Structure formats: C-alpha cells, structure tokens
Amino acid sequence: MCDKKDTVNTALREVLDNRRRALALTRLRTVADEGGFDLDFFEDKKNYRR
C-alpha cells in the first residue's frame, strides 16, 4: 500500500517528467524554426521502413 510520501514522490516525478518533455519539445521547435532539419529528407519515402 502506498503511503503519502510515495504518493508525493510519484507526483513530483511525473511533474518533472512532464517538464523535461515540454523543454525537449521547445528545443525541438526552436531547432525546426531555425531550419535545423532537412525536410526533403523526411519527405522522401522511397527508403521508408525498409
């Protein structure tokens, strides 16, 4: 059975995980906005899932 400490620790872990994902998404968007991805490469489907 979970006690209060475990519940709080689990909640804090989830908050930190969500924050890390949000920061990663922000960084990814920044790189994309700066042209950091070759979109032609991603749109080329000839080698998709070989």
Largest CA distance in the chain: 54
Query: How far apart, in whole angstroms, are the C-alpha atoms of residue 47 and residue 39?
Result: 15
Q: How many folded domains does the chain comprise?
A: 1
Following CA atoms 25, 27, 28, 32 in sequence, which dihedral angle do they give, to the nearest 10 degrees? 140
Structural domain span for residue 24: 4-43
pLDDT, tens digit, 9 for 90 and up, residues 13-49: 999 999 999 999 999 999 999 999 888 888 888 867 6
Residue 2 has pLDDT above 80, yes or no: no
Q: Is residue 49 part of a domain?
A: no
Instruction: Give the pLDDT of residue 42.
Output: 80
Q: Is residue 50 part of a domain?
A: no
Instruction: Note whether 31 and 37 are within 8 A (CB).
Output: yes
Q: Is residue 48 part of a domain?
A: no
Instruction: Give the pLDDT of residue 50.
Output: 60
